[in-house]
Amino acid sequence: MSFLANRILKIAWNERKLLNSQNLLSGVPCTHKTYSLKIKRMSSNLVIYNTLSRKKEIFEPINPPMVGLYVCGPTVYSDVHLGNCRTFVSFDLIYRYLLYSGYKVRYVRNITDAGHLEGDRDEGDDKFAKKAKLEQLEPMEIVQKYTIGFHDVLRLFNTLPPSIEPTATGHISEQIEMVKQIIANGYAYEVNGTVYFDVEKYSKNNDYTILTNRQLEDMLNNTRELGGQDEKKGRLDFALWIKAKPEHIMRWPSPWGVGFPGWHIECSAMSNKYLGHQFDIHGGGMDLAATHHTNEIAQSQACNHTNPAKYWMHTNMLTVNGARMSKSAGNGFLPRELFTGDHPLLTRGYSPMSVRFFMLQAHYRSTLDFSNEALEASDKGYRRLMNAIALLPKLKASASSEVDFEEIKQRFIAAMNDDFNSPVLIAELFEVVRIINSVYDNKTKIDAKGLAQLNTLVNDFVFNILGLKDDQTENNGDLEKLMDFIIKLRQEAKASKDYATSDLIRNSLQEMGFQLKDSKEGTVWSKS
């Protein structure tokens, strides 16, 4: 019997490892089947930090209940790193909370699949062409490969797909039209097949640095002098359309000859097409504000005479030892390395949900430093939350209630209304964890209505808004069954007074990180 019990424990453990590896490494797509948000309430108390005004403002959409949300997507020439994921997870939280609040959101997140040169100042190689040469693939094969990779990773992080995901190459004619209009309005000029935005002229009657409040003088002083070869009139001018050199593969005909669009114009053209001249929220990582978003505002202002977005939102950076995680700095963690633990800075792998929880424990406008210790601590918190939630079906309703769940809900909403403050929400959730454990231990009473409210709160705030799910039960329905079977074996061993076997089962499970908790109602298990 004890040999049999040992065998079963081994099988259970290997089974779990196998399921984990299948789920985590092959990018099993999660369906969004559990995600159904009812229109609930339209919050007039939501406050958003607007980079444009540098303060928190009450969120008043232009055309309620519609909300237009545009987020700059990835440049798909290599794998996304964890820093990129942080930005997309942050906007996923924002999107989810807007939906919960009753808004009808059109969420547009683009794919940059052309026109991104290595330098921010229209210099350097084309990122796609360079990678295509390196991997001996067509540029569009590069685009396809890394777009798929991007989607797989975001699915693992349980982010909702955007409403529209337009690509730069699919919107060349819209970009050309916009460039033509900017030229017609007098804010751009063509030199030898390349079209530049005239920043000096624009600055005469517009505030070019409105987004970051930098001094134009300082910017000029920090930008290198124009060289003899430079076609630009002014040092801050940037390309709207770039003439293709003969070897440049990604090329399109235009009124100025064969070329390709500059990086900034794609977001202006696509946001304009799907969300209109002015929409509610434009977002991206903080690193985009000074150049990309500054230029987007100038382009829209020059073309449509309006700042494209009412609220500009920027996520802060994920750092490693204080330095921004980036592809070029070479300190980028690939999500895959994180899930498997195959990285010198990691002692083990972490599940995507535990990493999502790690990200949400910091406010989106704070920096978040990545380390094994920080992940370890988050993982413990995440498991504590999930273990408490797993007890929900086992809670018994009492005749009376000692907990006011309506008041708790108001605290949750207050946290999220304060510029999507997920760390405060999570801190409040741990109060609910305490309540669940206390009800389970028969130390606190809640009635049937309270139990229903508690279930709704968890469903809304943990699963729908924070976008978390229990990776152990979600991914491992088989593990549940296996554990139930092992618990039954232990009960049988106990019933026949074979305490050596029942202790062996409990202790072996403990060594693997599984705890058994006995009570009058039976035995439940949890994983630390």
110, 270 Cβ separation under 8 angstroms: yes
Provide, rounded to whole angstroms, the least separation between the CB of residue 290 and ligand AMP.
11
Provide, rounded to whole angstroms, the least separation between the CB of residue 318 and ligand AMP.
4
Looking at the Cβ atoms of 111 and 479, the one nearer to ligand AMP is 111
Q: Any idea of the CA torsion for 343, 349, 351, 354, to the nearest 10 degrees?
A: -90
Phi, psi of 47 (to 5 degrees): -120, 135
Provide, rounded to whole angstroms, the least separation between the CB of residue 319 and ligand AMP.
7
259 binds, among Zn ion, ligand AMP, none (CB under 5 to 8 A by kind): none
- The neighbour count for residue 101, using CB atoms within 10 Å, is 24
Is 347 buried (19+), middle (13-18) or exposed (0-12) by CB count in 10 A? exposed
Question: In the range 179-218, which residues lie near Zn ion by CB under 5 A?
Answer: none
Choices 224-232, 260-268, 344-352, 356-364; region in contact with Zn ion by CB under 5 A: 260-268
496, 385 Cβ separation under 8 angstroms: no
**Count, residues near Zn ion per rule CB under 5 A:** 2
Q: Which residue is nearest to ligand AMP (CB)?
A: 285
Looking at the Cβ atoms of 77 and 412, the one nearer to ligand AMP is 77
Looking at the Cβ atoms of 183 and 325, the one nearer to ligand AMP is 325
331, 323 Cβ separation under 8 angstroms: yes
**Token representation of residue 90:** 């942050």
360 binds, among ligand AMP, Zn ion, none (CB under 5 to 8 A by kind): none
Q: Could you give the 3-state DSSP secondary structure of residue 264?
A: helix
Looking at the Cβ atoms of 283 and 467, the one nearer to ligand AMP is 283
Provide, rounded to whole angstroms, the least separation between the CB of residue 80 and ligand AMP.
7
Looking at the Cβ atoms of 332 and 450, the one nearer to ligand AMP is 332
Looking at the Cβ atoms of 293 and 527, the one nearer to ligand AMP is 293
Choices 124-132, 175-183, 262-270, 428-436; region in contact with Zn ion by CB under 5 A: 262-270
325 binds, among ligand AMP, Zn ion, none (CB under 5 to 8 A by kind): ligand AMP
50, 422 Cβ separation under 8 angstroms: no
75 binds, among ligand AMP, Zn ion, none (CB under 5 to 8 A by kind): ligand AMP
Looking at the Cβ atoms of 291 and 319, the one nearer to Zn ion is 291
Provide, rounded to whole angstroms, the least separation between the CB of residue 321 and Zn ion.
28
> Pairing state of beta strands 55-58 and 47-50?
antiparallel
Looking at the Cβ atoms of 72 and 172, the one nearer to Zn ion is 72
Angle, helices 422-440/352-360, rounded to nearest 10 degrees: 120
326 binds, among Zn ion, ligand AMP, none (CB under 5 to 8 A by kind): ligand AMP
267 binds, among Zn ion, ligand AMP, none (CB under 5 to 8 A by kind): Zn ion
149 binds, among Zn ion, ligand AMP, none (CB under 5 to 8 A by kind): none
Which residue has 């406010």 as its token pair? 363
Looking at the Cβ atoms of 72 and 188, the one nearer to Zn ion is 72
Looking at the Cβ atoms of 282 and 506, the one nearer to ligand AMP is 282
* Of positions 5, 12, 67, 72, contacts Zn ion by CB under 5 A: 72
403 binds, among Zn ion, ligand AMP, none (CB under 5 to 8 A by kind): none
Is 57 buried (19+), middle (13-18) or exposed (0-12) by CB count in 10 A? middle
Q: What is the 3-state secondary structure (H, E, C) of 142-170?
A: HHHHHHHHHHHHHHHCCCCCCCECCECHH
Distance, in Å, from the CA atom of 327 to the CA atom of 455, rounded to the nearest integer, reads: 42
83 binds, among ligand AMP, Zn ion, none (CB under 5 to 8 A by kind): ligand AMP
DSSP per-residue string spanning 296-331: HHHHHHHHHSS-SEEEEEEEPPEEETTEEP-TTTT-
Provide, rounded to whole angstroms, the least separation between the CB of residue 435 and ligand AMP.
34
264 binds, among Zn ion, ligand AMP, none (CB under 5 to 8 A by kind): none
Q: Could you give the 3-state DSSP secondary structure of residue 377?
A: helix
Provide, rounded to whole angstroms, the least separation between the CB of residue 63 and ligand AMP.
26
Q: Any idea of the CA torsion for 432, 436, 438, 439, to the nearest 10 degrees?
A: 130
* Of positions 143, 267, 465, 479, contacts Zn ion by CB under 5 A: 267
Helices (H), 206-316: 216-221, 263-275, 294-304
Distance, in Å, from the CA atom of 348 to the CA atom of 444, rounded to the nearest integer, reads: 37
Looking at the Cβ atoms of 20 and 90, the one nearer to ligand AMP is 90
Task: Write out the residues near ligand AMP by the rule CB under 6 A.
Answer: 72, 74-75, 83-84, 86-87, 284-285, 287-288, 315, 317-318, 324-326
Q: At CA 273, angle to CA 267 and CA 274, rounded to 5?
A: 95
Provide, rounded to whole angstroms, the least separation between the CB of residue 265 and Zn ion.
10
294 binds, among Zn ion, ligand AMP, none (CB under 5 to 8 A by kind): none
Q: What is the 3-state secondary structure (H, E, C) of 448-470?
A: HHHHHHHHHHHHHHHHHHCCCCC
Binding residues (CB under 5 A) for Zn ion: these are 72, 267
